[in-house]
């Protein structure tokens, strides 16, 4: 593998060729959980700041219509923060910041990196859209996560997007 003379020092380059199916070990449940936890904490910091700025008052002082715009603003900020923070990693390495820390990444079932459209449009958008509904959202989150305990460790969003989360291949020196 050739070294890119223009790459920043210490940057790990991703393999260009697809990994043969089944060659890379699947990410562990712990790696996936901790990566997701880190991603959530990073995303919710800007959201918390926004919530403080719009001065969330107790809900009993407002009717639903008065709370719609602040809730919409917080929800949109959450999704925008996720995309802005993770855009480069998602588009070049199929990783979020949490996945990069734990050296795991999303791959298509054929071993190739998924496109950004596949990741945002299928892996995340469907989940985000259903999550905004009060009763359906938490129920869907549970339904989405439960399949991870199967042997193939794929959540429902992995099944829909035809992806899997793997441990990154070790770079040979």
Question: pLDDT by residue (tens digit) across 110-126?
Answer: 999 999 999 988 888 88
What span, in angstroms and rounded, lies between the C-alpha atoms of 1 and 9? Answer: 17
So what's the pLDDT on residue 167? 96
How many whole angstroms separate alpha carbon 152 and alpha carbon 148? 7
Query: Higher model confidence: residue 39 or residue 15?
Result: 39
Q: What is the pLDDT of residue 81?
A: 85
The structure tokens 């923060």 sit at 81
**What is the pTM (predicted TM-score) of this model?**
0.75
Q: In sequence order, which residues have a C-beta less than 8 Å from that of residue 46 and are 6 or more positions away?
A: 77, 81
Sign of CA dihedral 38, 119, 11, 166: positive
Q: What is the pLDDT of residue 19?
A: 57
What pLDDT band is residue 56 in, cutting at 50, 70 and 90? low
For residue 6, name the pLDDT band (cuts at 50, 70, 90): low
- Of all residues in the chain, the percent with pLDDT exceeding 70 is 77
As a whole number of angstroms, the distance between CA 69 and CA 83 comes to: 21
Confidence class for position 29, pLDDT limits 50, 70, 90: very high
Cβ neighbours of residue 67 under 8 Å, at least 6 residues apart?
A: 59
Query: What pLDDT, on a 0 to 100 scale, did the predictor assign at position 111?
Result: 93
- Find out whether 135 and 170 touch, Cβ atoms under 8 Å: no
Please indicate whether residue 117 or residue 69 has the higher confidence score (pLDDT). Answer: 117
Q: What is the mean pLDDT of residues 9-18?
A: 50
- Domain ranges (residues) in the chain: 29-167
Burial class (CB in 10 A: 0-12, 13-18, 19+), 130: middle
> What's the rounded mean pLDDT across residues 97-117?
95
For residue 166, what are the β-bridge partners? 26, 105
Query: Who contacts 93 (Cβ-Cβ below 8 Å, separation ≥6)?
Result: 14, 100, 105, 113
């Amino acid at each position: 593998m050739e070294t890119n003379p223009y790459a920043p020092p210490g940057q790990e380059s991703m393999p260009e060729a697809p990994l043969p199916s089944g060659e890379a070990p699947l990410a562990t449940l712990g790696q996936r959980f901790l990566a997701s936890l880190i991603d959530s904490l990073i995303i919710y910091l800007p959201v918390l700041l926004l919530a403080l700025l719009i001065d969330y008052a107790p809900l009993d002082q407002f009717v639903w219509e008065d709370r719609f715009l602040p809730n919409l603003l917080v929800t949109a900020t959450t999704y925008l923060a996720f995309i802005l923070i993770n855009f480069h990693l998602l588009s070049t390495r199929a990783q979020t910041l949490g996945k990069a820390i734990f050296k795991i990444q999303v791959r298509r079932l054929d071993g190739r990196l998924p496109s950004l459209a596949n990741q945002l449009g299928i892996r995340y958008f469907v989940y985000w859209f259903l999550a905004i509904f009060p009763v359906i959202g938490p129920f869907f989150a549970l339904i989405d996560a439960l399949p991870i305990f199967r042997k193939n460790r794929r959540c429902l969003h992995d099944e829909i997007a035809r992806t899997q989360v793997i441990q990154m291949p070790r770079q040979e020196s």
